[in-house]
C-alpha cells in the first residue's frame, strides 16, 4: 500500500462524519472495481472533496460485473442522487444507466473512462490518446531494434482504444516505411496481469523474432509481459506502462521496466467532485476549460488533463514529489 493510500485511509478514520443536511447535494459515485489500487485512492479523494464542499457521497461498486453496474446505477438514481458519476465497466452497457438517469433528470459525469453515449453531461479524464503517443514515442526514442509488440486492454474500455490509437499514430508511419515491424497487436479481455502473462508466454513460445520493444498499455500488463520473458532479461527490452504503480516504479529503477505514464489522481478526483457539486446546484452549469471530445459519432463536453511521462530520470520530481509514493517505499525490497 502506498504512502498516500495509507494517509488517506487514516484521514477518513480520524475525521468525524458530518451530519447530513437534507438540503445538501447527494452525489452517487459508481465505480467499476478495485482490481487496481488506484481506484481506492480515487474514491477516497472524491468522497473527501464532496464532503468538504458540503455534499454527501454514496458509493457503489459492481466488482467488474457490467450487468451489476447497470443495476447499481439504477439503484442510485432511484435513491434520488442529484448527480451520478460513473467509471463504466463496459462503455456500451453503461449507456442503459445514462438513459435511465436522463429519464429521471439526473446529470451524469463519465469519470476516467468514456461512456459511449452523447447524452452524458460531462466526460472528465486524462488525454488518453496522448498516453499512447507518449508510450510509443518513448519506445522509438529508446529502442535500437526494429521489432515491436503492442499489448492493450479490452475494447469494452474506450480508454484502451484511445491508448492504442495514440500508439499507432506514432508508430504507423515508421511501420509503413519499413523502419520498424509490428510482431503482434494483442488485445486482452481484461486489464489483468495474469492474462498478460499467459498471453505473452504464448507469444514468446511461438514467434521466431524477439521483440525489441513491448508497448504495454498499463503497468499490470507490463508486469505480466516481464514475468513471461523466458530469459528474464527484461532490461534488454524497452517496456512501457501506465499508472505509476509502486511495483512498476521499482521495476523502472531496477531497469526491468523502461517507463510509465503518470496520471495524477488528486486533480482528477477533485475536479470531478467540484463539477458534480456544481451540477447538483445547477443542472445547466457550464464548466470552464472544457472542450468537445469526439469519438466516432459521439461528441461530449470534456475536461481532459495532461498525462506525465515517468522514467528513472524524473520519478523523484514527479510521483515522489506529489506524494503518490515515498522514497522509503521505492527502496523497499521484496
Considering the domain architecture, whether residues 281 and 253 belong to the same structural domain is answered as no
Q: Which of 278, 265, 263, 264 is nearest to 50 (CA)?
A: 278
Considering the domain architecture, whether residues 97 and 141 belong to the same structural domain is answered as no
Considering the domain architecture, whether residues 94 and 84 belong to the same structural domain is answered as yes
pTM of the prediction? 0.82
Considering the domain architecture, whether residues 189 and 243 belong to the same structural domain is answered as yes
> What is the span of the domain harbouring residue 14?
3-120+264-306
Considering the domain architecture, whether residues 137 and 229 belong to the same structural domain is answered as yes
The predicted pLDDT at position 10 comes to 55
DSSP 171-192: HHHHHHTTSSEEEEEEE-SSS-
Number of domains observed in the structure of the chain: 2
The predicted pLDDT at position 229 comes to 82
DSSP 184-251: EEEE-SSS-HHHHHHHHHHHHHH-SSPPSEEEESSHHHHHHHHHH-TT--GGGSEE---S--HHHHHH
Considering the domain architecture, whether residues 113 and 41 belong to the same structural domain is answered as yes
Report the distance separating Cα 63 and Cα 231, nearest Å.
35
Considering the domain architecture, whether residues 201 and 234 belong to the same structural domain is answered as yes
Q: pLDDT truncated to tens, each residue of the chain (334 aa)? A: 555 555 555 555 444 444 445 458 999 999 999 887 789 989 999 999 999 999 999 999 999 999 999 999 999 999 999 999 999 999 999 999 999 999 999 999 999 999 998 789 999 999 999 999 999 999 999 999 999 999 999 998 999 999 999 999 999 999 999 999 999 999 999 999 999 999 999 988 888 888 999 999 999 999 999 999 866 555 688 999 999 999 999 999 999 999 999 999 999 999 999 999 999 999 999 998 899 998 878 899 999 999 999 999 999 999 999 888 999 998 886 5
Considering the domain architecture, whether residues 39 and 78 belong to the same structural domain is answered as yes
Considering the domain architecture, whether residues 136 and 251 belong to the same structural domain is answered as yes
Considering the domain architecture, whether residues 42 and 190 belong to the same structural domain is answered as no
Considering the domain architecture, whether residues 168 and 244 belong to the same structural domain is answered as yes
Residue 147: give its domain's CATH number: 3.40.50.2300
Considering the domain architecture, whether residues 180 and 322 belong to the same structural domain is answered as yes
The predicted pLDDT at position 331 comes to 84
Amino acid at each position: 500500500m502506498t504512502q498516500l493510500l495509507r494517509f488517506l485511509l487514516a484521514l477518513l478514520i480520524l475525521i468525524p462524519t458530518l451530519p447530513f443536511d437534507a438540503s445538501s447535494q447527494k452525489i452517487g459515485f459508481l465505480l467499476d472495481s478495485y482490481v487496481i489500487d488506484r481506484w481506492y485512492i480515487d474514491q477516497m479523494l472524491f468522497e473527501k472533496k464532496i464532503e468538504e464542499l458540503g455534499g454527501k457521497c454514496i458509493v457503489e461498486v459492481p466488482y467488474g460485473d457490467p450487468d451489476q453496474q447497470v443495476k447499481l446505477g439504477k439503484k442510485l438514481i432511484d435513491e434520488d442522487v442529484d448527480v451520478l458519476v460513473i467509471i463504466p465497466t463496459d462503455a456500451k452497457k453503461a449507456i442503459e444507466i445514462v438513459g435511465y438517469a436522463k429519464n429521471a433528470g439526473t446529470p451524469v459525469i463519465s469519470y476516467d473512462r468514456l461512456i459511449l453515449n452523447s447524452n452524458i453531461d460531462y466526460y472528465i479524464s486524462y488525454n488518453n490518446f496522448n498516453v499512447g503517443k507518449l508510450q510509443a514515442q518513448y519506445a522509438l526514442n529508446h529502442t535500437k531494434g526494429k521489432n515491436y509488440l503492442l499489448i492493450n486492454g479490452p475494447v469494452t474500455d474506450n480508454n484502451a482504444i484511445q491508448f492504442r490509437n495514440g500508439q499507432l499514430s506514432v508508430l504507423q508511419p515508421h511501420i509503413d516505411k519499413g523502419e520498424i515491424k509490428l510482431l503482434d497487436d494483442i488485445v486482452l479481455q481484461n486489464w489483468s496481469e495474469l492474462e498478460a502473462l499467459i498471453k505473452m508466454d504464448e507469444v514468446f513460445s511461438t514467434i521466431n523474432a524477439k521483440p525489441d520493444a513491448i508497448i504495454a498499455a498499463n503497468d499490470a500488463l507490463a508486469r505480466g509481459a516481464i514475468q513471461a520473458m523466458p530469459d528474464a532479461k527484461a532490461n534488454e527490452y524497452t517496456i512501457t506502462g501506465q499508472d505509476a504503480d509502486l511495483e512498476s516504479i521499482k521495476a523502472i529503477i531496477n531497469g526491468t521496466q523502461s517507463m510509465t505514464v503518470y496520471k495524477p489522481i488528486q486533480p482528477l478526483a477533485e475536479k470531478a467532485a467540484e463539477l458534480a457539486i456544481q451540477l447538483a446546484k445547477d443542472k445547466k452549469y457550464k464548466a470552464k476549460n472544457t472542450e468537445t471530445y469526439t469519438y466516432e459519432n459521439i461528441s461530449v463536453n470534456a475536461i481532459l488533463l495532461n498525462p506525465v511521462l515517468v522514467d528513472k530520470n524524473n520519478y523523484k520530481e514527479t510521483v515522489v514529489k506529489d506524494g503518490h509514493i515515498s522514497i522509503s517505499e521505492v527502496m523497499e525490497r521484496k
